[in-house]
Chain A
Amino acid sequence: MKKKFPFHIIVFLFPACFIYSIFMIYPLIDTMRVSLYTQNLLGENMDDSSGVRAFIGFRNYYDLFFNDTWSWHFWNALKNNLYFFLLHVSIQTPIGLLIAAFLSNKELKLKNTYRTLIFLPAMMSIVIVGYIFNLILSNLWGIPQTILGVVGLEDLYQPWLGLKGSALITVSLISIWQFVGIPMMLFYAALLNIPEEILDAAKVDGSSGLNTFWKIKFPLILPTVGLMCVLTYVGNFNAFDLIYAIKNIYAGPEFSTDLMGTFFYRTFFGYQHQLGNPTMGATVASTTFGIILIGVMIYLFAFQKRITRYQY
């Protein structure tokens, strides 16, 4: 007997596919379409209410990568964003891992309290975090030089958020402080998943605590570490809110804290007296999408397949 076509699968898949297509896939494709057009910003000789749009092929992309007006901002934002990501991976992930390792120690008291306290900032509104740090680091209203002097740190009395060389690092550290709880939670959960028998066996074999961690626990949670890196990568390249809250869309001083997100915002919506350029904004958005896509692909094909998974 011929098998009946499984219509019920289509019926069940339809709502999710429909909503996903309308709200995710269609806007994504249309953004790419719009990025191939140009638009008269002053509204002269408008044919219709949406404004004249002329097809120009890949010229927006050419301008973005090679024309000085745009390319300086683009490469600057990309460079800053990579730096922002590297700082996160090299500081946030190890600290998260360290805290998780401490928390998974059975003898530790007040474990839940620490866990909650460390995770708390991640639940706070970014606007509040940005505002508080702006005040703490302000030379006018923040920690005064005299207090720093008591502990011999007068030299640290600097406008860290206002200096070109330190602003991006400062913003990154604020972001790391806020979100260090997320890798901590993931690693903690992964560490708890490791069966007791394995650890007991290691103990019986005479493995020291540090040795057990590096030789047994770490390899077992490596897939989680990889996953965390990808999540950080995607999150960092979509970052916008913290810079917006602390440094505004100008991402000062002199665009030294500019990320792809703030660059996109300025391009698409315009700012103060600069009219927004929707088609160029679409180009920036598509490029950002491409960058994230490439990064995730590299992870999926080059790393994830090679990470050994252990069954237990």
Chain B
Amino acid sequence: MKKLMSLFMTFVIVTFTALPIFAGTVIIESWRNDDADAWNDKIIPAFNAQHPDIEVVFQATIPAQYSASISAKLEGGNAGDLITLIPFDASLKLFNRGWLASLNDLGGLDNYPQVAKDAWSTDDQSDLFGVPMASVSHGFMYNKDIFKELGLSVPKTESEFFSVLEKIKSDGNYIPLAIGTADTWAISTMGFQNIGPNYWAGEKGRKGILTGDEKFTDDHYVSLFETLGKWSNYMADGYQAQTYPDSQNLFTLGDAAIYPTGSWEIFTFSQNADFEFSAFAPPTRDGQSNCFIDDHTDIGIGLNSKAKNPAEAKVFLEWLTGAEFAEIFANEVPGFFPLHSHSISVNDPVAKEFISWKDTCDTTIRNSYHIVGRGEPNLESVLYEVVSGVVNGTVTPAEAAERAEASLANWYEPHQ
């Protein structure tokens, strides 16, 4: 008992002396404990080189508990000054309840495209409450060794893509596409949202769904479902029961040639795969001159309306909008890309490949998140269902389109 007591006392003393929090300290609340080293060793020191008088502490919570714990902290008035935000409705809720400050007058916001700011703005864009921080891009990763062995070249168009898949299939040694439908979010996000922007012309189509000018029953959505249906010919046996980790393993074990995915995998894959891999952008449709990629807004950062040091926190936020932060962040956390408009040099070769697409292609975000992602049922979960149904062959493309449209018509006025 005595031993336990002294252990406890040591713990208390260590905790309190290790975190010397005094007035003037800016505390950042985040769920990204994976990035803690990047923040503590690189980002904060770089900031302090310019602003030595402001102390910044990066405080990470376990990801699964972040939303609940940050709500509780903000409600109780003991949250940190800066709050890392997930995109769209969950953060909008925090703003609507008055817990986040409006950042309309912050300098440096012109460094971001409007689509990046949408994720942390009110619906009418009158208030911005979060500085966009990072995005993740969709694309296809491929096993370079397998491509070399089979003499394949990287596909640019959809017909090239399918002929590559056909060649891998007829060779018979490798699984052409590493993806399954057991985790419905995986096939929807990494299939539908991956190649989709080429079908609905990026932002134009996404806005079209929001205004009701485009409907899911339009031809290009139906043909998108048709294309996804064709994927199933090239997926592993029993793909209906293949989960997201199964697909990851198939690819990193070198059993599969192509893996439809997103940039967030770069970091883990470069540690686990003992072959060379790279990425290619979603193949364009035949006869399509421009290309579109999904560059989804994923992390933002907002100001606590009851922050203890709002002035210092704002200085830090303004610094985040600059090129220096963008450069450090992009290199320390490969696969998560700063949302700044200006070009950024990255060292990781695969991340570099992902980022290079932004020079030639127009970017957009997943079309089911902004506004249409909040109804009952929300578009995102309906898409999970119909996309996996189409790939499983239990739902026809036309039915899938109708079901997606009907779910929107159920609650969303522009589609009624």
B250 at the interface (CB under 8 A from A): yes
Alpha-carbon distance between A49 and B378 when the two chains are bound, in angstroms = 25
B201 at the interface (CB under 8 A from A): no
Known A-B contacts A162-B242, A253-B388; the reply to A140 vs B250 at CB < 8 A is yes
- The answer to whether B392 and A253 touch across the interface, beta carbons within 8 angstroms, is yes
Given the complex, which residues of B lie within 8 Å of A295, measured CB to CB?
none
- Stretch of B262-270, B284-292, B301-309, B369-377 contacting A (4+ beta carbons < 8 Å): B369-377
Most B-side CB within 10 Å, residue of A70, A140, A247, A255: A140
User: In angstroms, how far is the closest chain A Cβ from the Cβ of B229?
Assistant: 15
For chain B, residues 239 to 281, give those with C-beta under 8 angstroms from any C-beta of chain A: 239-243, 246, 249-250
Residue interface bits A133-144, CB-to-B below 8 A is 1, else 0:
010011111000
Known A-B contacts A69-B377, A140-B242; the reply to A275 vs B89 at CB < 8 A is yes
Given the complex, which residues of A lie within 8 Å of B180, measured CB to CB?
162
- The answer to whether A46 and B246 touch across the interface, beta carbons within 8 angstroms, is no
Given the complex, which residues of B lie within 8 Å of A254, measured CB to CB?
385, 388-389, 392, 394-395
A305 at the interface (CB under 8 A from B): no
Looking at the complex, which one of B236, B376, B381, B388 makes contact with A271 (CB distance below 8 Å)? Answer: B381
For chain B, residues 193 to 252, give those with C-beta under 8 angstroms from any C-beta of chain A: 236-243, 246, 249-250
User: How many residues of chain B have a CB within 8 Å of chain A?
Assistant: 44
A57 at the interface (CB under 8 A from B): no
For chain A, residues 10 to 24, give those with C-beta under 8 angstroms from any C-beta of chain B: none
- The answer to whether B378 and A159 touch across the interface, beta carbons within 8 angstroms, is no
User: In angstroms, how far is the closest chain B Cβ from the Cβ of A256?
Assistant: 9
Find the B residue at minimum CB distance from A272. Answer: B185
A41 at the interface (CB under 8 A from B): yes
- Stretch of B27-35, B52-60, B92-100, B344-352 contacting A (4+ beta carbons < 8 Å): B92-100
Find the B residue at minimum CB distance from A252. Answer: B184
- The answer to whether A41 and B374 touch across the interface, beta carbons within 8 angstroms, is yes
- The answer to whether A252 and B388 touch across the interface, beta carbons within 8 angstroms, is yes
User: In angstroms, how far is the closest chain A Cβ from the Cβ of B267?
Assistant: 22
User: In angstroms, how far is the closest chain B Cβ from the Cβ of A167?
Assistant: 9
- The answer to whether B240 and A275 touch across the interface, beta carbons within 8 angstroms, is no
B181 at the interface (CB under 8 A from A): yes
Looking at the complex, which one of A162, A164, A274 makes contact with B239 (CB distance below 8 Å)? Answer: A162
Known A-B contacts A68-B410, A248-B183, A254-B388; the reply to A162 vs B241 at CB < 8 A is yes
Residue interface bits B56-96, CB-to-A below 8 A is 1, else 0:
00000000000000000001000000000000111011101
Given the complex, which residues of B lie within 8 Å of A138, measured CB to CB?
238, 241-242, 246
User: In angstroms, how far is the closest chain B Cβ from the Cβ of A46?
Assistant: 5
B101 at the interface (CB under 8 A from A): no
Looking at the complex, which one of A158, A250, A253 makes contact with B238 (CB distance below 8 Å)? Answer: A158
26 pairs of residues in contact across A and B, judged by CB atoms under 8 Å = A42-B96, A69-B411, A70-B376, A138-B241, A138-B246, A139-B241, A140-B238, A140-B246, A140-B249, A159-B238, A159-B241, A159-B242, A162-B180, A162-B182, A162-B240, A162-B241, A162-B392, A164-B392, A252-B182, A253-B240, A254-B388, A271-B381, A272-B380, A274-B380, A275-B93, A275-B374
**Which 9 interchain pairs have the tightest Cβ spacing?**
A139-B238, A162-B240, A162-B241, A159-B238, A159-B241, A43-B93, A159-B240, A161-B241, A43-B96
